[in-house]
């Protein structure tokens, strides 16, 4: 608390007060029906849904992990975040997968299973498997959020990371429980304004700090040891600090992550924003707006990385003191598990009187400001890149304004939390509780059931987060193991007519079970191995399950195909469409698939451009702008001009 003043506290209190008032106002609207509670009554405008999408994808934890890779690699850190932070599935959601989901007029992705596989045993099995998988995935996401929020807030408050995350998540849980999807969208709009102000301010500070690109390159070489920090080109082999050596093969990881996102993108889009959209056109427009708004995240994160370079140089002109400090702490405090390293540091900093000999030794190594420097110490005895973001706020942002930046990032994290929890509560209430437990439950009872579920969900998420070693550790597992359980079944459900509910359920659950067992038995398994093994198990489960169970009823398939009209292996059903309808559909498919690679190029270049500008890399900026302009032109011809009228 010594790092905040009354102006900071005032800003934070005002923000929380506005949040409470919004929750109370929106509670009445949200409680009118389940449609209102989970989808905003399908009446929200596309631009509001787009703003909500941006806010829900921008969180403290994700921002911290991306800043860490930008700090280590420069603009090339974007390629590592093909894993998830670059949100490449947005390209697929914008072109076709968003509208495919909207056409069902369902409320949740699990309800969509009945639309796709029917009311029989296969459809019910798929619905239960989808709901279970989403709940498990959300537990992983909550653990990820808990870890990041704790690491972030403990640098500003005299509490351990665990206590900080409990305070933050409790506030977010109460708000989400009260206001439902209305609260998600309207609060995200309010919070997006705060985020935008922070983006502009931090970006300007970093741009003015660095005289030119050569100065940044020299500084980065001194601090990180990378001689290629300012380049935006992919390289096969690059240097990485201790604890991150696995990412040295940068090109291989980027291509691997890209493949994962292409497979996942086809099945993406079962988001309340698409179920709540009014038309196919609005699905495209909201995602285009959403993606453009996501661009603002990248200059802010690059700005934090640049300011982090200056900060580390000033605090640690000799980085060998980091290893000495880490060894001293391990000697005095015994065998510390890596997952508890941040809590151990917090204990020393907040209660120095309990460790007099250790504190004396740290003062001798780090100087009188040992406590401040300790924030950046990693378990390996190097700079902890995951704490660069809060460290920059702590040391480089003026008091008063610091409170606004904190609110912006807290707002971003709460937006991600409320969107994730609201969506998962919808799966539980609509697809499990109401469907199989209490089919005649009143609207009031269903909302109460969602509250109980949210409390249980958050509790289990905390338990997992408490045992996580780092943000990168849990983020890699979510994307390359746990999330893969839904990846291939989600892909096949749109592209293969023979794929049925049994195949979806068995493929999903087998992948999820492997991910959980892998986390328990072999937690350090390489991300590439996680993906390859989990995807192999999942696809085998899909194929075996499909041929061991009855095909989907023909009438269900025909209804699905007439309404959704996906591309893929649907030859047995194409003849049910009138010739003119089929011709329009096939033209739509050609345009969508032609536009897709250019949309992905547009998205990646859109995110890269402001980062290159921040570090004054003007030559690569102009070349990247050429790619951006060509991609945008092709998108206009093959996508935007072809959008149907509302």
Q: Distance (Å, rounded) from C-alpha 431 to C-alpha 273?
A: 18
- Of 414, 460, 453, nearest to 437 by C-alpha is 453
Digit-coded pLDDT (tens) for 279-314:
889 888 889 988 988 898 899 899 999 999 999 998
Backbone angles phi, psi at 496, to 5 degrees: -135, 115
pLDDT by residue (tens digit) across 482-503?
Answer: 888 888 898 999 999 999 999 9
Separation of alpha carbons 187 and 48, rounded Å: 10
Task: Please name the residue that has the structure tokens 């990646």.
Answer: 604
* DSSP H helical ranges for 118-270: 121-153, 161-209, 213-224, 250-267
% of the chain surpassing 90 pLDDT:
28
Give the CATH number of domain 6-312+399-642; options: 1.20.1730.10, 3.30.70.3450, 1.10.630.10, 3.40.50.720: 1.20.1730.10
pLDDT classification of 180: cutoffs 50, 70, 90: very low
Split at pLDDT 50, 70, 90, the class of 33 is very low
Lowest mean pLDDT among 138-142, 362-366, 490-494, 630-634: 138-142
Q: What is the pLDDT of residue 68?
A: 92
Of the listed ranges 50-54, 387-391, 536-540, 586-590, the one predicted with least confidence: 50-54
% residues pLDDT > 70 (the chain): 86
Where residue 141 falls among pLDDT bands split at 50, 70, 90? confident
Nearest-angstrom CA–CA distance, 74 and 360: 36
CB 11 within 8 A of CB 18: no
Does 432 have pLDDT greater than 60? yes
Q: Which DSSP state fits 4?
A: -
Query: Where do the domains of the chain lie?
Result: 6-312+399-642, 321-381
Three-class SS string for 533-595?
HHHHHHHHHHHHHHHHCCCCCHHHHHHHHHHHCCCCECHHHHCCCCHHHHHHHHHHHHHHHHH
Specify whether the CB–CB gap between 635 and 91 falls below 8 A: no
Whether 19 has a pLDDT exceeding 50, the answer reads: yes
Q: Within 10 Å of residue 396's Cβ, how many Cβ atoms?
A: 18
Residue 428 has pLDDT above 90, yes or no: no
Average pLDDT over residues 227-243: 82
Residue 555 CB partners (closer than 8 Å, separation 6+): none
pLDDT band for position 34 (50/70/90)?
very low
**Burial tier of 217 (Cβ tally within 10 Å: 0-12, 13-18, 19+):** buried
Please state, in angstroms and rounded to a whole number, the distance separating the CA atoms of residues 619 and 366: 40
Is-contact 569 497, C-beta < 8 A?
yes
Q: Are 497 and 367 in contact (CB under 8 A)?
A: no
Q: What is the pLDDT of residues 79-111, one digit of tens each?
A: 998 988 888 999 999 999 999 998 988 876 767
| Top-confidence range, 230-244, 327-341, 449-463, 571-585 | 571-585
């Amino acid at each position: 608390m010594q790092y905040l003043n009354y102006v900071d506290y005032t800003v934070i209190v005002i923000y929380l007060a506005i949040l409470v008032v919004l929750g109370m106002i929106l509670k009445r609207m949200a409680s009118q029906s389940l449609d209102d509670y989970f989808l905003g009554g399908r009446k929200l405008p596309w631009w509001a849904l787009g703003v909500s999408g941006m806010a829900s994808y921008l969180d403290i934890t994700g921002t911290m992990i991306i800043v860490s890779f930008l700090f280590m690699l420069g603009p090339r850190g974007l390629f590592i975040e093909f894993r998830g932070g670059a949100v490449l599935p947005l390209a697929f959601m914008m072109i076709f997968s968003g509208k495919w989901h909207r056409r069902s007029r369902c409320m949740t992705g699990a309800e969509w299973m009945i639309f796709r596989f029917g009311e029989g045993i296969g459809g019910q099995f798929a619905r239960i498997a989808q709901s279970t998988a989403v709940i498990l995935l959300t537990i992983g996401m909550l653990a990820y959020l808990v870890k990041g929020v704790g690491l972030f807030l403990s640098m500003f408050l005299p509490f351990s990371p665990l206590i900080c995350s409990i305070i933050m998540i409790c506030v977010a849980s109460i708000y989400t429980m009260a206001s439902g999807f209305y609260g998600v969208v309207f609060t995200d709009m309010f919070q997006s304004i705060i985020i935008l102000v922070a983006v502009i301010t931090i970006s300007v500070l970093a741009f003015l700090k660095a005289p030119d690109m050569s100065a940044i390159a020299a500084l980065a070489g001194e601090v990180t040891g990378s001689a290629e920090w300012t380049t935006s080109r992919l390289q096969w082999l690059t240097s990485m600090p201790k604890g991150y050596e696995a990412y040295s093969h940068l090109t291989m990881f980027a291509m691997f992550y890209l493949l994962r996102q292409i497979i996942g993108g086809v099945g993406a889009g079962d988001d309340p924003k698409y179920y709540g959209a009014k038309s196919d056109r609005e699905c495209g427009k909201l995602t285009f707006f959403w993606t453009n708004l996501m661009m603002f995240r990248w200059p802010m994160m690059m700005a934090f990385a640049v300011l982090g370079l200056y900060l580390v140089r000033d605090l640690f002109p000799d980085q060998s003191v980091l290893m000495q400090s880490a060894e001293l702490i391990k000697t005095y405090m015994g065998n510390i598990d890596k997952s508890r390293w941040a809590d151990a540091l917090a204990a020393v900093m907040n209660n120095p009187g309990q460790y007099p000999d250790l504190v004396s030794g740290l003062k001798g190594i780090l100087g009188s400001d040992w406590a401040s420097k300790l924030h950046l110490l990693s378990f390996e005895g190097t700079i902890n890149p995951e704490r660069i973001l809060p460290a920059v706020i702590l040391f480089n942002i003026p008091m008063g304004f610091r409170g606004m930046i904190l609110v912006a990032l807290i707002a971003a994290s709460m937006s991600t939390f409320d969107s994730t929890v609201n969506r998962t509560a919808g799966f539980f209430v609509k697809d499990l509780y109401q469907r199989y437990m209490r089919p005649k439950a009143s609207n009031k009872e269903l909302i109460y059931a969602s509250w109980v579920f949210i409390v249980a969900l958050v509790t289990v998420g905390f338990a997992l987060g408490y045992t996580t070693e780092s943000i990168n550790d849990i983020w890699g597992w979510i994307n390359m193991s746990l999330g893969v359980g839904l990846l291939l079944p989600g892909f096949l459900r749109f592209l293969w007519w023979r794929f049925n509910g049994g195949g979806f359920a068995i493929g999903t659950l087998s992948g999820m079970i492997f991910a959980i067992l892998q986390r328990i038995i072999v937690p350090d398994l390489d991300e590439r191995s996680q993906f390859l093994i989990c995807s192999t198990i999942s696809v085998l489960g899909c194929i075996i399950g499909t041929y061991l169970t009855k095909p989907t009823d023909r009438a269900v398939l025909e209804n699905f195909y007439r309404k959704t009209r996906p591309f893929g292996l649907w030859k047995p059903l194409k003849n049910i469409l009138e010739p003119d309808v089929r011709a329009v559909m096939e033209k739509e498919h050609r345009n969508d698939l032609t536009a897709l690679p250019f949309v992905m190029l547009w998205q990646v270049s859109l995110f890269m451009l402001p980062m290159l500008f921040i570090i004054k890399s003007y030559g690569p900026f102009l070349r990247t702008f050429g790619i951006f302009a060509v991609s945008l032109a092709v998108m206009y011809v093959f996508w935007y001009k072809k959008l149907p009228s509302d």
